[in-house]
A = this chain, B = another copy of it.
Amino acid sequence: MDAEILCIGSELLHGDIVNTNARYISKKLAEIAINVHYQTVVGDNADRIKKAFDIGFSRADIVICTGGLGPTQDDITKETLAEYFGVEMIYDEESYQHVVNMYQRFRRSVPKNNIKQAYFPKGSIILNNPNGTANGCIYRGKDKEGNYKIGILLPGPPKEMEPLMDSEVIPYLKEFSSWVVYGEKILVMNIGEAAAEEMVIDLIKEQTNPTIAPFASAGKVVFRVTAKAESKEKCIELIKPLKEELINRFGKENAYAVSSGKVEDKVAELLLDKNLTIAVAESLTGGLVASKLVSYPGISESFLEGFITYSNESKIKTLKVKEETLKKYGAVSEETAKEMAYGAAKVAGADIGLSTTGVAGPSGGSKEKPVGLVYVCVYYNGKYELKEIHATGVRDTIRERAATRVIDLVRTCVEE
Protein backbone atom coordinates (compact mmCIF):
# COMPACT_ATOMS: atom_id res chain seq x y z
CA MET A 1 0.00 0.00 0.00
CA ASP A 2 1.23 3.50 -0.89
CA ALA A 3 0.35 6.66 0.94
CA GLU A 4 0.68 10.34 0.18
CA ILE A 5 0.82 13.07 2.77
CA LEU A 6 -1.01 16.32 2.13
CA CYS A 7 -0.44 19.17 4.58
CA ILE A 8 -2.64 22.24 4.40
CA GLY A 9 -1.40 25.49 5.85
CA SER A 10 -0.32 28.88 4.54
CA GLU A 11 2.15 29.26 7.41
CA LEU A 12 4.11 26.36 5.85
CA LEU A 13 4.19 28.03 2.43
CA HIS A 14 5.33 31.31 3.97
CA GLY A 15 8.17 29.51 5.72
CA ASP A 16 6.95 30.52 9.19
CA ILE A 17 7.14 26.99 10.52
CA VAL A 18 8.87 23.75 9.65
CA ASN A 19 6.61 20.90 8.53
CA THR A 20 6.95 18.51 11.46
CA ASN A 21 3.60 16.87 10.63
CA ALA A 22 4.90 15.40 7.36
CA ARG A 23 7.91 14.01 9.16
CA TYR A 24 5.86 12.54 12.01
CA ILE A 25 3.36 10.82 9.73
CA SER A 26 6.08 9.52 7.38
CA LYS A 27 7.98 8.03 10.29
CA LYS A 28 4.91 6.29 11.69
CA LEU A 29 3.93 4.88 8.29
CA ALA A 30 7.49 3.64 7.69
CA GLU A 31 7.24 1.63 10.90
CA ILE A 32 4.28 -0.34 9.54
CA ALA A 33 5.82 -0.72 6.06
CA ILE A 34 3.47 1.66 4.26
CA ASN A 35 5.45 3.51 1.57
CA VAL A 36 5.23 7.26 1.24
CA HIS A 37 6.20 8.44 -2.25
CA TYR A 38 5.07 12.05 -2.03
CA GLN A 39 4.54 14.77 0.55
CA THR A 40 2.66 17.84 -0.64
CA VAL A 41 1.97 21.18 1.02
CA VAL A 42 -0.78 23.54 -0.17
CA GLY A 43 -2.29 26.70 1.29
CA ASP A 44 -5.85 27.30 2.50
CA ASN A 45 -7.22 27.55 -1.02
CA ALA A 46 -10.26 25.52 -2.07
CA ASP A 47 -9.30 25.05 -5.69
CA ARG A 48 -5.72 23.97 -4.97
CA ILE A 49 -6.82 21.58 -2.21
CA LYS A 50 -9.24 19.91 -4.62
CA LYS A 51 -6.52 19.47 -7.23
CA ALA A 52 -4.11 18.13 -4.65
CA PHE A 53 -6.66 15.48 -3.60
CA ASP A 54 -7.16 14.45 -7.22
CA ILE A 55 -3.43 14.13 -7.83
CA GLY A 56 -2.90 12.38 -4.49
CA PHE A 57 -5.53 9.69 -5.06
CA SER A 58 -4.34 9.18 -8.64
CA ARG A 59 -0.94 8.02 -7.41
CA ALA A 60 -1.56 6.57 -3.92
CA ASP A 61 -4.02 4.26 -2.14
CA ILE A 62 -4.12 6.40 0.97
CA VAL A 63 -4.10 10.20 1.33
CA ILE A 64 -3.43 11.46 4.84
CA CYS A 65 -4.28 15.11 5.17
CA THR A 66 -3.56 17.52 8.03
CA GLY A 67 -5.28 20.87 8.60
CA GLY A 68 -8.42 22.53 7.31
CA LEU A 69 -10.80 21.05 9.90
CA GLY A 70 -11.59 24.34 11.60
CA PRO A 71 -14.91 26.20 11.76
CA THR A 72 -14.27 28.89 9.14
CA GLN A 73 -15.26 29.12 5.49
CA ASP A 74 -11.66 28.37 4.48
CA ASP A 75 -11.82 24.97 6.13
CA ILE A 76 -13.04 22.72 3.37
CA THR A 77 -11.02 19.52 3.67
CA LYS A 78 -13.97 17.36 4.73
CA GLU A 79 -16.22 18.76 2.00
CA THR A 80 -13.53 18.13 -0.60
CA LEU A 81 -13.13 14.51 0.48
CA ALA A 82 -16.93 13.97 0.39
CA GLU A 83 -17.05 15.44 -3.10
CA TYR A 84 -14.20 13.21 -4.29
CA PHE A 85 -16.03 10.07 -3.21
CA GLY A 86 -19.47 11.43 -4.20
CA VAL A 87 -21.02 11.13 -0.74
CA GLU A 88 -23.01 13.70 1.24
CA MET A 89 -22.01 15.40 4.49
CA ILE A 90 -23.96 14.34 7.55
CA TYR A 91 -24.37 15.73 11.04
CA ASP A 92 -22.82 13.90 14.00
CA GLU A 93 -24.41 14.82 17.33
CA GLU A 94 -21.50 13.43 19.40
CA SER A 95 -19.00 15.61 17.56
CA TYR A 96 -21.18 18.63 18.24
CA GLN A 97 -21.33 17.77 21.94
CA HIS A 98 -17.53 17.44 21.84
CA VAL A 99 -17.25 21.02 20.57
CA VAL A 100 -19.69 22.23 23.24
CA ASN A 101 -17.71 20.46 25.98
CA MET A 102 -14.43 21.95 24.76
CA TYR A 103 -15.90 25.45 24.88
CA GLN A 104 -17.46 24.87 28.31
CA ARG A 105 -14.02 24.02 29.68
CA PHE A 106 -13.01 27.59 28.97
CA ARG A 107 -16.48 28.85 30.11
CA ARG A 108 -17.31 30.17 26.67
CA SER A 109 -20.36 29.71 24.47
CA VAL A 110 -20.02 27.96 21.13
CA PRO A 111 -19.78 30.30 18.13
CA LYS A 112 -22.36 29.56 15.43
CA ASN A 113 -19.71 28.59 12.83
CA ASN A 114 -18.53 25.69 14.91
CA ILE A 115 -21.50 23.53 13.92
CA LYS A 116 -19.43 22.94 10.78
CA GLN A 117 -17.10 20.82 12.89
CA ALA A 118 -19.93 18.30 13.49
CA TYR A 119 -20.35 17.42 9.79
CA PHE A 120 -18.50 14.52 8.14
CA PRO A 121 -18.59 12.58 4.85
CA LYS A 122 -21.36 9.96 5.27
CA GLY A 123 -19.89 6.59 6.26
CA SER A 124 -16.76 8.00 7.92
CA ILE A 125 -15.10 6.62 11.00
CA ILE A 126 -14.93 9.67 13.27
CA LEU A 127 -11.68 10.24 15.18
CA ASN A 128 -12.32 11.84 18.56
CA ASN A 129 -9.78 14.58 19.25
CA PRO A 130 -9.16 14.96 23.00
CA ASN A 131 -6.95 18.03 22.51
CA GLY A 132 -9.08 20.29 20.34
CA THR A 133 -12.54 20.93 18.90
CA ALA A 134 -11.74 19.48 15.46
CA ASN A 135 -12.51 15.78 15.23
CA GLY A 136 -10.81 13.93 12.37
CA CYS A 137 -12.16 11.14 10.18
CA ILE A 138 -11.29 8.15 8.01
CA TYR A 139 -13.26 7.43 4.84
CA ARG A 140 -12.75 4.31 2.72
CA GLY A 141 -14.51 4.07 -0.60
CA LYS A 142 -14.13 3.39 -4.31
CA ASP A 143 -12.79 5.91 -6.80
CA LYS A 144 -14.22 6.33 -10.31
CA GLU A 145 -12.27 3.33 -11.62
CA GLY A 146 -13.59 1.15 -8.81
CA ASN A 147 -10.36 0.97 -6.80
CA TYR A 148 -10.52 1.23 -3.03
CA LYS A 149 -8.99 4.43 -1.66
CA ILE A 150 -8.63 5.68 1.92
CA GLY A 151 -8.83 9.34 2.90
CA ILE A 152 -7.70 10.26 6.41
CA LEU A 153 -8.26 13.78 7.74
CA LEU A 154 -6.41 14.99 10.83
CA PRO A 155 -6.22 18.35 12.62
CA GLY A 156 -3.24 20.60 11.86
CA PRO A 157 -1.70 21.39 15.28
CA PRO A 158 0.94 18.74 16.04
CA LYS A 159 -0.22 18.24 19.63
CA GLU A 160 -3.68 17.34 18.29
CA MET A 161 -2.55 15.42 15.20
CA GLU A 162 0.14 13.21 16.78
CA PRO A 163 -2.03 11.51 19.44
CA LEU A 164 -4.72 10.74 16.81
CA MET A 165 -2.11 9.31 14.47
CA ASP A 166 -0.81 7.02 17.22
CA SER A 167 -4.06 5.89 18.79
CA GLU A 168 -6.41 5.75 15.78
CA VAL A 169 -4.74 5.89 12.38
CA ILE A 170 -1.84 3.47 12.89
CA PRO A 171 -4.01 0.69 14.40
CA TYR A 172 -6.49 1.15 11.51
CA LEU A 173 -3.83 1.02 8.79
CA LYS A 174 -1.96 -1.88 10.39
CA GLU A 175 -4.83 -4.10 9.29
CA PHE A 176 -3.82 -3.45 5.69
CA SER A 177 -0.14 -4.24 6.14
CA SER A 178 1.33 -7.60 7.11
CA TRP A 179 4.90 -6.29 7.37
CA VAL A 180 6.85 -4.71 10.15
CA VAL A 181 9.64 -2.22 9.54
CA TYR A 182 12.13 -1.71 12.32
CA GLY A 183 15.29 0.36 12.42
CA GLU A 184 18.23 1.00 14.70
CA LYS A 185 20.63 3.91 14.75
CA ILE A 186 24.42 3.74 14.83
CA LEU A 187 26.05 6.92 16.00
CA VAL A 188 29.48 7.75 14.59
CA MET A 189 31.72 10.31 16.27
CA ASN A 190 35.15 11.73 15.35
CA ILE A 191 34.73 10.91 11.62
CA GLY A 192 33.29 13.32 9.04
CA GLU A 193 30.22 12.41 6.98
CA ALA A 194 32.01 11.95 3.65
CA ALA A 195 34.82 9.90 5.19
CA ALA A 196 32.36 7.77 7.17
CA GLU A 197 30.26 7.08 4.08
CA GLU A 198 33.34 6.11 2.09
CA MET A 199 34.35 3.60 4.78
CA VAL A 200 31.13 1.63 4.26
CA ILE A 201 30.25 2.55 0.68
CA ASP A 202 30.33 -1.14 -0.39
CA LEU A 203 27.73 -1.98 2.28
CA ILE A 204 25.52 0.95 1.23
CA LYS A 205 25.74 -0.07 -2.43
CA GLU A 206 24.78 -3.70 -1.89
CA GLN A 207 21.93 -2.90 0.55
CA THR A 208 18.49 -4.36 0.01
CA ASN A 209 17.13 -5.58 3.34
CA PRO A 210 18.27 -4.18 5.74
CA THR A 211 18.95 -0.79 4.17
CA ILE A 212 21.55 1.70 5.41
CA ALA A 213 21.09 5.48 5.28
CA PRO A 214 23.59 8.01 6.66
CA PHE A 215 22.68 11.49 7.81
CA ALA A 216 24.84 14.10 9.50
CA SER A 217 24.15 16.78 12.11
CA ALA A 218 26.38 19.06 14.21
CA GLY A 219 29.29 16.98 15.49
CA LYS A 220 28.02 13.51 14.59
CA VAL A 221 26.95 11.18 11.79
CA VAL A 222 24.03 8.78 12.22
CA PHE A 223 23.57 5.59 10.17
CA ARG A 224 20.03 4.24 10.18
CA VAL A 225 19.82 0.50 9.55
CA THR A 226 16.29 -0.59 8.69
CA ALA A 227 14.84 -4.03 8.05
CA LYS A 228 11.45 -5.19 6.81
CA ALA A 229 10.12 -8.56 7.94
CA GLU A 230 7.09 -10.36 9.32
CA SER A 231 7.96 -9.51 12.93
CA LYS A 232 10.10 -7.14 14.96
CA GLU A 233 12.18 -10.08 16.22
CA LYS A 234 12.98 -11.11 12.65
CA CYS A 235 13.97 -7.49 11.85
CA ILE A 236 16.36 -7.39 14.83
CA GLU A 237 17.88 -10.65 13.62
CA LEU A 238 18.42 -9.22 10.12
CA ILE A 239 19.93 -6.01 11.48
CA LYS A 240 22.39 -7.61 13.94
CA PRO A 241 25.25 -8.70 11.63
CA LEU A 242 25.17 -5.45 9.66
CA LYS A 243 25.16 -3.38 12.84
CA GLU A 244 28.19 -5.27 14.12
CA GLU A 245 29.99 -4.84 10.81
CA LEU A 246 29.39 -1.08 10.84
CA ILE A 247 30.65 -0.70 14.40
CA ASN A 248 33.72 -2.80 13.58
CA ARG A 249 34.58 -0.70 10.56
CA PHE A 250 34.31 2.60 12.44
CA GLY A 251 35.87 1.19 15.59
CA LYS A 252 34.14 0.72 18.94
CA GLU A 253 35.72 3.91 20.24
CA ASN A 254 33.91 5.90 17.54
CA ALA A 255 30.65 4.07 16.89
CA TYR A 256 27.80 2.62 18.91
CA ALA A 257 24.10 1.85 18.67
CA VAL A 258 21.58 4.08 20.43
CA SER A 259 17.89 3.99 19.56
CA SER A 260 17.24 7.74 19.75
CA GLY A 261 20.43 8.60 17.84
CA LYS A 262 21.35 10.96 20.69
CA VAL A 263 24.79 10.92 22.35
CA GLU A 264 23.33 12.19 25.62
CA ASP A 265 20.97 9.23 25.92
CA LYS A 266 23.87 6.78 25.57
CA VAL A 267 25.90 8.66 28.18
CA ALA A 268 22.96 9.00 30.59
CA GLU A 269 22.35 5.24 30.34
CA LEU A 270 26.04 4.54 30.97
CA LEU A 271 26.21 6.85 34.00
CA LEU A 272 23.08 5.39 35.58
CA ASP A 273 24.21 1.87 34.81
CA LYS A 274 27.62 2.36 36.40
CA ASN A 275 26.29 4.46 39.32
CA LEU A 276 28.53 7.37 38.43
CA THR A 277 27.78 10.98 39.32
CA ILE A 278 28.59 13.94 37.11
CA ALA A 279 28.91 17.72 37.33
CA VAL A 280 29.39 20.10 34.42
CA ALA A 281 31.19 23.42 34.02
CA GLU A 282 30.21 25.31 30.90
CA SER A 283 31.44 28.47 29.34
CA LEU A 284 30.56 28.90 25.65
CA THR A 285 27.88 26.16 25.69
CA GLY A 286 26.14 28.10 28.47
CA GLY A 287 23.89 25.34 29.82
CA LEU A 288 23.46 23.35 26.62
CA VAL A 289 25.41 20.34 27.91
CA ALA A 290 23.44 20.26 31.16
CA SER A 291 20.16 20.76 29.34
CA LYS A 292 20.86 17.82 27.03
CA LEU A 293 21.75 15.51 29.92
CA VAL A 294 18.75 16.66 31.97
CA SER A 295 16.38 15.86 29.09
CA TYR A 296 16.94 12.17 30.00
CA PRO A 297 14.23 11.08 32.48
CA GLY A 298 15.68 9.77 35.75
CA ILE A 299 19.04 11.53 35.33
CA SER A 300 18.69 13.18 38.75
CA GLU A 301 20.34 10.05 40.23
CA SER A 302 23.52 10.89 38.39
CA PHE A 303 23.53 14.57 37.47
CA LEU A 304 24.56 16.49 40.59
CA GLU A 305 25.17 20.04 39.53
CA GLY A 306 25.97 22.40 36.67
CA PHE A 307 27.96 25.61 36.69
CA ILE A 308 27.68 28.12 33.88
CA THR A 309 30.78 30.17 34.45
CA TYR A 310 30.75 32.67 31.67
CA SER A 311 32.93 35.32 33.33
CA ASN A 312 36.50 34.92 34.57
CA GLU A 313 35.37 35.92 38.08
CA SER A 314 32.87 33.08 38.23
CA LYS A 315 35.47 30.60 36.99
CA ILE A 316 37.75 31.66 39.85
CA LYS A 317 35.11 32.00 42.56
CA THR A 318 32.86 29.07 41.78
CA LEU A 319 35.20 26.54 40.19
CA LYS A 320 38.45 27.58 41.89
CA VAL A 321 40.24 28.06 38.58
CA LYS A 322 43.56 29.79 39.39
CA GLU A 323 43.74 33.48 38.56
CA GLU A 324 47.28 32.82 37.35
CA THR A 325 46.07 30.22 34.84
CA LEU A 326 43.54 32.65 33.36
CA LYS A 327 46.16 35.39 33.15
CA LYS A 328 48.85 33.21 31.63
CA TYR A 329 46.83 31.07 29.20
CA GLY A 330 43.47 32.87 28.90
CA ALA A 331 39.93 31.58 29.45
CA VAL A 332 40.01 29.66 26.15
CA SER A 333 42.89 27.26 26.78
CA GLU A 334 43.69 23.66 27.63
CA GLU A 335 44.79 24.66 31.11
CA THR A 336 41.57 26.51 31.94
CA ALA A 337 39.46 23.67 30.53
CA LYS A 338 41.29 21.21 32.81
CA GLU A 339 40.89 23.32 35.93
CA MET A 340 37.21 23.88 35.13
CA ALA A 341 36.53 20.15 34.78
CA TYR A 342 38.44 19.38 37.97
CA GLY A 343 36.69 22.25 39.79
CA ALA A 344 33.22 21.06 38.75
CA ALA A 345 33.89 17.54 40.04
CA LYS A 346 35.39 18.75 43.32
CA VAL A 347 32.86 21.48 44.12
CA ALA A 348 29.90 19.20 43.42
CA GLY A 349 31.51 16.11 44.90
CA ALA A 350 30.96 14.18 41.68
CA ASP A 351 32.87 11.27 40.14
CA ILE A 352 33.13 13.04 36.80
CA GLY A 353 33.60 16.69 35.92
CA LEU A 354 33.38 18.06 32.40
CA SER A 355 34.06 21.47 30.93
CA THR A 356 33.67 23.54 27.77
CA THR A 357 35.41 26.77 26.91
CA GLY A 358 35.80 28.43 23.52
CA VAL A 359 35.01 31.27 21.17
CA ALA A 360 31.40 30.98 19.92
CA GLY A 361 31.46 34.21 17.92
CA PRO A 362 30.42 36.11 15.95
CA SER A 363 32.88 38.51 17.60
CA GLY A 364 35.60 37.86 20.20
CA GLY A 365 37.91 35.90 17.91
CA SER A 366 41.61 36.69 17.39
CA LYS A 367 44.39 35.36 15.17
CA GLU A 368 45.62 32.97 17.87
CA LYS A 369 42.15 32.09 19.11
CA PRO A 370 39.72 32.32 16.18
CA VAL A 371 35.94 31.91 16.33
CA GLY A 372 35.26 28.19 16.50
CA LEU A 373 38.24 27.27 18.69
CA VAL A 374 36.91 25.16 21.57
CA TYR A 375 38.50 23.10 24.34
CA VAL A 376 36.47 20.41 26.04
CA CYS A 377 37.72 18.32 28.94
CA VAL A 378 36.56 15.44 31.12
CA TYR A 379 38.06 14.75 34.54
CA TYR A 380 37.53 11.23 35.84
CA ASN A 381 39.47 8.90 38.11
CA GLY A 382 42.39 11.28 38.55
CA LYS A 383 42.86 11.59 34.78
CA TYR A 384 42.08 14.30 32.22
CA GLU A 385 40.79 13.67 28.71
CA LEU A 386 41.07 16.79 26.58
CA LYS A 387 40.02 17.73 23.03
CA GLU A 388 40.79 20.76 20.94
CA ILE A 389 38.01 21.41 18.41
CA HIS A 390 38.00 23.72 15.41
CA ALA A 391 34.29 24.11 14.73
CA THR A 392 32.78 25.84 11.70
CA GLY A 393 29.37 27.44 11.40
CA VAL A 394 27.36 30.08 13.24
CA ARG A 395 27.32 30.71 17.00
CA ASP A 396 24.65 28.13 17.82
CA THR A 397 26.22 25.46 15.58
CA ILE A 398 29.58 25.91 17.29
CA ARG A 399 27.91 25.60 20.71
CA GLU A 400 25.95 22.52 19.59
CA ARG A 401 29.06 20.84 18.21
CA ALA A 402 31.03 21.52 21.41
CA ALA A 403 28.21 20.11 23.57
CA THR A 404 27.90 16.92 21.49
CA ARG A 405 31.66 16.34 21.50
CA VAL A 406 32.16 16.76 25.26
CA ILE A 407 29.22 14.49 26.07
CA ASP A 408 30.73 11.83 23.83
CA LEU A 409 34.07 12.33 25.54
CA VAL A 410 32.41 11.26 28.80
CA ARG A 411 31.45 8.00 27.08
CA THR A 412 35.03 7.39 25.96
CA CYS A 413 36.39 7.96 29.48
CA VAL A 414 33.78 5.84 31.23
CA GLU A 415 34.02 2.95 28.78
CA GLU A 416 37.81 2.78 28.95
A binding-site residues for B, Cβ under 8 Å: 10-20, 22-30, 36-43, 45, 48, 52, 55, 106, 157, 159, 194-195, 213, 215-216, 224, 226, 280, 282, 284-291, 293-295, 297-298, 300, 303-311, 313-314, 318, 347-349, 361-363, 393, 395-396, 399
Contacts A297-B395, A310-B300; A13 near B40 (Cβ below 8 A): no
Q: Which of the listed residues A288, A291, A303, A396 has the most CB atoms from chain B within 10 Å of its own CB?
A: A291
Selected from B15, B41, B52, B399, the residue in CB contact (under 8 A) with A28 is: B15
Q: Which of the listed residues A30, A194, A287, A349 has the most CB atoms from chain B within 10 Å of its own CB?
A: A287
Which residues of chain B are within 8 angstroms of A290 by Cβ–Cβ distance? 286-287, 308
Which residues of chain B are within 8 angstroms of A395 by Cβ–Cβ distance? 295, 297
Other 10 A-B pairs with CB < 8 A, given A15-B22, A297-B395, A305-B307: A12-B22, A17-B23, A18-B23, A38-B40, A287-B294, A297-B362, A298-B363, A304-B311, A306-B307, A318-B347
Q: How far is the CA of A303 from the CA of B308 in the complex (A)?
A: 10
Q: Are A311 and B306 in contact (CB under 8 A)?
A: no
Q: Are B37 and A12 in contact (CB under 8 A)?
A: no
Q: How far is the CA of A349 from the CA of B308 in the complex (A)?
A: 14
Q: Are B23 and A20 in contact (CB under 8 A)?
A: no
Q: Are B294 and A306 in contact (CB under 8 A)?
A: no
Q: How far is the CA of A38 from the CA of B22 in the complex (A)?
A: 14
Sample of 23 A–B contacts (CB below 8 Å): A11-B213, A13-B26, A13-B37, A13-B39, A14-B30, A15-B22, A16-B27, A16-B224, A19-B39, A38-B41, A106-B194, A282-B287, A285-B294, A286-B293, A287-B306, A288-B291, A294-B310, A297-B361, A304-B310, A304-B311, A305-B309, A305-B314, A307-B307
Interface of A is mostly: mixed
Q: Are B307 and A11 in contact (CB under 8 A)?
A: no
Selected from B19, B194, B287, B309, the residue in CB contact (under 8 A) with A287 is: B287
Selected from B19, B26, B28, the residue in CB contact (under 8 A) with A22 is: B19
Contacts A287-B306, A304-B314; A10 near B213 (Cβ below 8 A): yes
What residue in chain B is nearest A306 (Cβ atoms)?
A: B308
Q: Are B26 and A14 in contact (CB under 8 A)?
A: yes
A297 to chain B, nearest CB (A): 6
Q: Are A41 and B42 in contact (CB under 8 A)?
A: no
Which residues of chain B are within 8 angstroms of A22 by Cβ–Cβ distance? 12, 15, 19, 41
Closest 4 CB pairs of A and B: A286-B294, A15-B27, A306-B308, A287-B287
Q: Are A291 and B286 in contact (CB under 8 A)?
A: yes
Q: How far is the CA of A322 from the CA of B40 in the complex (A)?
A: 57
What residue in chain B is nearest A347 (Cβ atoms)?
A: B318
Q: How far is the CA of A318 from the CA of B249 in the complex (A)?
A: 46
What residue in chain B is nearest A31 (Cβ atoms)?
A: B15
Q: Are B306 and A286 in contact (CB under 8 A)?
A: yes
Selected from B48, B106, B280, the residue in CB contact (under 8 A) with A38 is: B48
Selected from B24, B30, B310, the residue in CB contact (under 8 A) with A305 is: B310
Selected from B12, B284, B295, B310, the residue in CB contact (under 8 A) with A39 is: B12
Q: Are A42 and B48 in contact (CB under 8 A)?
A: no
Q: Are A287 and B298 in contact (CB under 8 A)?
A: no
Which residues of chain B are within 8 angstroms of A106 by Cβ–Cβ distance? 194-195
Q: How far is the CA of A411 from the CA of B314 in the complex (A)?
A: 24
Q: How far is the CA of A194 from the CA of B37 in the complex (A)?
A: 35
A397 to chain B, nearest CB (A): 8
Which residues of chain B are within 8 angstroms of A361 by Cβ–Cβ distance? 297
Q: How far is the CA of A320 from the CA of B89 in the complex (A)?
A: 65
